[in-house]
Structure 1
Amino acid sequence: MVTLRNVYYSIAGRKILSGVSWTIPPGKRLALVGANGSGKTTLLKLIAQELTPQEGEIIVPRNFRLGYLPQEILNFPHSSVLEHVLQGRPEILKLEQEIQELHNQLTTPGEKTNQLLSQLGSLEEKFQALAGYQVESKAKIYLSGLGFSPHDFHRPLSTFSGGWTMRAYLARLLLQAPDLLLLDEPTNHLDLVALEWLEQYLLEFKGAVVIVSHDRYFIDRLADEIYELENGLLTKYPGRYSLYLEEKRKKIEIQRKKYEEQLAERERILRFVQKYRSDKKRARQVQSRLKLLEKMQPLTPPPSLPRLNFHLSITSLSYKDVLIMEKVWFRFDPGDWLFRDLELHLTRGAKTALVGPNGSGKTTLTRLITGELKPQKGRIRLGPRTQIGYYSQQPTSTLNPESSVYEEVIASTPLDRLLYVREVLGIFQFKGEEINKKIGVLSGGEKARVSLAKILLSSANFLIMDEPTTHLDLIAREALEEALRSYEGTLLIISHDRYFLDRIVHQVIEINNKQLIPYPGNYTYYSTKKKSIHQQFVLAEQKQKESSTLKSSSFSSEPSSSSTFTTAKTPSPPGRKTKEQRRREAEARQAISQKRRSLQLKIKEIEERIMSLENRKKALEEILANPQT
């Protein structure tokens, strides 16, 4: 286990950790939460030994293996994706190289042949003990789970975006199978499919895990315990995020009650002293009260959980039909069609999530709706009085770098919303003098929060939001949720935050095979339904195989004289298939296709391994058959 004892750490005179003591037991999955800037990343870097405590100690057992995934990757290696992942097991690569060198030496018989054969046997035993023969197939499984296609395995990692590079680094960490995984925002660059795969992997992982994440669904599924870093100290809470919130509110309420009781007591003492200060008969009592007041340690005011106290207003209601897309075709020239014959109808008040794997076209669809892109075929119509507020994944391009945060926001805020500007900026971590910072000096995340504040104060009646929670801490996410839950306009939202989606949306639309497939309900219903459909197709596939086996068995054997034959009725030809049936069949074909590709990949790997072993066997047999050996 890893142990922290009374650890202190400061940055530029500001205390980040103030005597933190923490034990990370083997096999436990722990979530580390706290406001942005509270020191979570610093704490992970200290445990990972990238930083050194200024006071206290961090005890890591000898030969203990640590794996650390930072929030940002600064170097982009030129090796291929697969090579980069395999480099996470240098001991296996080294053994493989030594084995190959021995094979090369054995091609020329000599006096040292027996010695070389002995060395080769020893090395291959070590290689097998380290599961060296399975390491490449494992690496490919991890890469596939995190969203890479087989075609990507041999591409240079430097040609990928930062998000995909992060996925490759994560696959490399998983291949290392460390005793303790330190993951700093591992879900930031994952789509929902990769996210669910990672969850399942970590649920089965035997080592300990410390996760820093703003993904509450992820925390709920994985965390055995939650530790909150606040004011430089750690506080332990139960595992589920909802329980953590409940316990935190109780704790704050107790602190508030004690604080208010102390204030009342101090006020009572001061009134007594002021009233009887000149009364000589009560001089002793007055002195006693003053001493009591001096000994009383002033309590710190309890933190308040920020909430937005205003509702997102809309200037006017749109008509019932907010958005109609009819037979829309779109592609980036030159290229394959991204959408074919697309249909979408959103009505006033609908709150819809748009989901699909990365690259399926979610952001492109929002750009088509806003008019930033034009379809090659079909028609997109906005209903009368529809006013769009659009938050994109690159929301900072429209900001004026010379304006202050406050000036930038009020410039686009309607008059009846001006009273709420400071409150909204406070929720997004712009407080006091920070609202006077120039846009040009802000980080990318800070600029994104300014853009989000502008959208929320805009009074638009159709909000389109592409990953609005990416740069928000947990408190800001909850405040945004509350605002969107009470929003009376229409909402179309892209997000990988499943907890966020569950609390807001009433419909999920999935982009699948260039089409849109609607699911009523929240994200949990959609996910459950998808799994149920997949299980039905797997069962149907198994039954079909069993039926085929029985038929081939009956045709290959002669019937006995006692056999009885019955003639089955020929089924009537099926009628026209419904849209739901066509959709299910399409999903079934896709699932079978994916499964077939996975099996083909495994078969290919096994065949390559067999061929490699046969070549080694042949080489050894030739050496042993040589009389000079």
Structure 2
Amino acid sequence: MSTVFQLQGISKSFGPRILFDKASATFVEGQRVGFIGANGAGKTTIMRMITGDEKPDSGSVTCYPNTRLGYLEQHETFPEGETVIGYLLRVSGREPWECAKMASSFDLTAEHLEMPFLKLSGGYQMRVRLTAIFLKDPNFLLLDEPTNYLDLQTVLLLEDVLRAYRGSLLLISHDREFLKNTCTHTLELEHQKLTLFAGDIEAYFAEKESRLEMTKRYNKKVQLQQRHLQAFVDRFRYKASKATQAQSKLKQLDKLKTIEIAHSIRTVQIHIPDVPQKQTFALECKDLSAGYHADHPVLQGVDFEIKRGEHVAIVGENGKGKTTLLKTLANELTPLSGRFKWGHNITIAYYAQHVPLMLPSKGTVGTYLASKAGATLPEDVLRMASNFLFSKDDLEKSISILSGGERARLCLAGIFLGKHDVLILDEPTNHLDFDTVEALGEALAEFSGTILFVSHSRTFVSEIATSILEVKDGRAIRYPYPYEVYVYETKTHETFLMPKEEPLSIPLSPDNPFLRTKTEIYDDLKKEKRSMERLEADLKKLTQEKERIYKAFETAPTNVDIEKAKRLKEIDAEIIGLESNWFTIQDRIDAFNLEMKGAKNE
């Protein structure tokens, strides 16, 4: 396999802080690499070096010939009012029909293409951004935390796309399940070095565990030798007859070094104070409507009860009301109608993405944690700070200079130092490193209180959730099966609980005489797809002919060819007509696909 990119002996520092010290990595064709390491270790900086947006202090960064990069950044800015198709045309430079065809691979319809980009939910924005990247036909794809804020449907779609992708992949993610399903290799950034493991994330952890045990045994042996040598030196250093031997032993002692054991999941232990367990309800909702405008409720007719000690995962597509429900239950949003009631004497802690912005500007990390700790011992405060990536020196940091990620981690540490009956958590794993996410999952799973939470991480949800509340079609209803069944159902686009919105105006029932069979619909769908293939072939020929004429003009700019200029105008007119037909056919294909979902069997 040929090499697509290489980092050789790179070093990088920001002030006194060293990110990399002579780190190296080679990426080959078709390799699918999950990139992991502690927050702030420099993973994004590595990606920016690959794209050329960041330079190493020393070492070489080599992009091999024919390597085409595609980079999905964590953050990107978009002009106000720009439509989806406008964005795709701007960033890709491709034809409208090509943009629309690629967009359909991500379940984006013609209606989506005409919408302002910023009006889309986070999940659909990610679909559009991925469409833009694949329009550039990259053979080395760089994705930085692509699953953040995505709903399960979009995460599963992205998994399918990446599994079908045949180029090289470098993927930063703290979602263990996502890494397992998309990557064949694992790149670790640790101790300022890069190490590539030939295996997925599960194989990586097994290998790390094995290496850890070997390192511990080696260190134990070295420490025993060190004690023996030191005892000999201390005893005979000043005895003339043994001075030479003592000096020799001292040199041996200097050469004996233990291997530093890196921070591992075994050393990260988050403890959440237990609360008294009672048999009464924790939360009761009756005919609750929630939203921001009385005329357009996001949720309505919500009825459910949660018992104390339940760990409830709120699931559903982005933009359907999960966060709205949590904000309402946390008293951040007034119900539009109906009511909800918390159990007697219940204390609630709420974490959401906007909460870190509400931190006091005065004070330090240490004083904030102390104010939240209550009767917690000082050493427990230090341990909690450490588990959320704050060192002892960081305790003196002013809150006013903390980054967004640091503020988020500080909020979580403060919440878990307190003693709360109920935890309401909206995407708590964002801004946490891999080890801390796993430790947090373990701690929440053991928590004796009640949890209502939203998370995009399947591993995290699966570990914590004891029950599921599905938000869909303006309602929030108890899902009667385990989370694993919900994931499977979402993958297969089936439903056990709520019927999907029907695409046709006629009643869809098996006895409806007007309802077409799947075979009848499939025949029409096949005809439209054949028409689409012929149309796309014609568009490709016209585009190639247009490029040939332009090249001829560039080769001989002073040689005016009237016939070619005339033909160029004809081609433009033909392309416009074909593109219009393309969108019409695509609309029909979308309609047939929708009809197929409600079709009766033979």
- TM-score, L = length of structure 1: 0.76
Shift in alpha-carbon separation, 1:277–1:60, aligned structure 2, 3 A: closer
Aligned to 1:56: 59
Distance 1:172 1:435 in 2: 43
CA contact (8 A) 2:226 2:256 kept: no
Residues 300-359 of structure 1 deviation map (CA, whole Å, 9 limit, x = unaligned): 431232545463224543552111112222342254232222111111111111011111
Contact 1:338 1:361 (8 Å CA) reproduced: yes
2:455 to 495, 504, 513: 495
Any conservation in 1 of the 2:185–2:201 contact (CA below 8 Å)? no
- Contact 1:4/1:20 (8 A) holds in 2: yes
Residue 51 of structure 1: CA displacement?
2.6
Compute the displacement of 1:46 (Å).
1.4
* Distance across 2 between alignment mates of 1:354 and 1:160: 21
Q: In 2, Cα distance between the equivalents of 1:277 and 1:288?
A: 10
Query: Which deviations, in whole Å up to 9, do the C-alpha atoms of 1:200-236 show, x marking residues without a partner?
Result: 0111012111101111111010010001011221122
User: CA separation in 2, counterparts of 1:619 and 1:385?
Assistant: 72
1:166–1:189 Cα contact (<8 Å) kept: no
1:547 — aligned with what? none
Q: CA deviation at 1:297?
A: 4.6
Unaligned runs of 5+ in 1: 94-131, 538-579, 621-629
Corresponding residue for residue 136 of structure 1: 99
Aligned to 2:260: 301
Residue type matched to 2:85 in 1? L
8 Å CA contact retained: 2:444, 2:464: yes
Matches within 5 A, 1:155-166: 155-157=115-117
Counterparts of 2:269 and 2:503, CA distance in 1? 47
1:87 to 90, 101, 108: 90
User: For residues 377 and 156 of structure 1, do their structure 2 counterparts lie closer, same or farther at Cα, with a shift above 3 Å needed?
Assistant: closer
The answer as to whether partners of 1:324 and 1:382 remain within 8 angstroms in 2 is yes
Distance in 2 (CA, whole Å) between partners of 1:156 and 1:618 is: 27
2:270–2:384 Cα contact (<8 Å) kept: no
- Which is worse superposed, 429-438 or 271-280? 271-280
Task: Summarize the Cα distance change of 1:530–1:480 in structure 2 as closer, same or farther, 3 Å threshold.
Answer: same
* 2:166 counterpart of 1:206: yes
Q: Displacement of 1:157 after TM fit?
A: 3.8
1:382 to 342, 346, 362: 342
1:460 equivalent among 375, 400, 420: 420
- Give me the whole-angstrom Cα distance separating, in 1, the residues matched to 2:43 and 2:337: 50
Q: Which residue of 2 aligns with 1:257?
A: 217
CA contact (8 A) 2:25 2:195 kept: no
Q: 1:142-181 alignment to 2 at 5 Å?
A: 142=105, 144=107, 150-157=110-117, 167-181=127-141
Q: If the length of structure 2 is used for normalisation, what is the TM-score? A: 0.79
SS in 2 for 1:411: helix
Letter in 1 for 2:479: Y
Q: In 2, Cα distance between the equivalents of 1:521 and 1:211? A: 32
Identity %, equivalent residues: 29
Asked whether 1:587 is paired with 2:550, we answer no
**Residue in 2 that maps onto 1:44:** 47
**1:28 corresponds to 2:38:** no
Write the distance in 1 (CA, Å) between the matches of 2:331 and 2:80: 39
Shift of residue 462, structure 1, vs aligned partner: 1.1
Residues 1:436 and 2:401 aligned together: no
| 3-state SS of paired residue (2:372) | coil
Contact 1:393 1:466 in 2 (8 A): yes
Q: Which entry has the higher C-alpha Rg, 1 or 2? A: 1
- Give 2:76's aligned amino acid: I
1:521, distance to aligned residue in structure 2 (A): 5.6
User: How do 1:413-432 and structure 2 match up within 5 A?
Assistant: 413-416=373-376, 418-432=378-392
Q: Which amino acid aligns with 2:403?
A: S
Quote the offset at 1:426 in angstroms.
Answer: 0.6
- Structure 2 vs 1, CA of residues 193 and 311 (structure 1 numbering), >3 Å: closer, same or farther? same
Aligned positions, number = 526
2:70 is paired with a residue whose SS is strand
1:321-360 equivalence runs, <5 A: 321-360=281-320
Give the CA deviation at 1:238: 4.5
Shift in CA distance, 357/163, structure 1 to aligned 2, threshold 3 Å = closer
> Judging changes above 3 Å, is the alpha-carbon distance between structure 1 residues 590 and 232 closer, same or farther for their aligned structure 2 residues?
farther
Report deviation, 1:469: 0.4
Tell me the equivalent position of 1:474: 434
Question: In structure 1, what is the Cα distance between the partners aligned to 2:491 and 2:9?
Answer: 47
Give 1:241's aligned residue: 201
Aligned pair 1:445/2:405, yes or no? yes
Distance 1:218 1:433, change over 3 A: same
SS at match of 1:64: coil
The one-letter code matched in structure 1 to 2:400 is G
2:229 aligned with 1:282: no
Are 1:4 and 1:22, in contact at CA under 8 Å, matched by a contact in 2?
A: yes
2 CA distance for matches of 1:370 and 1:152?
A: 33
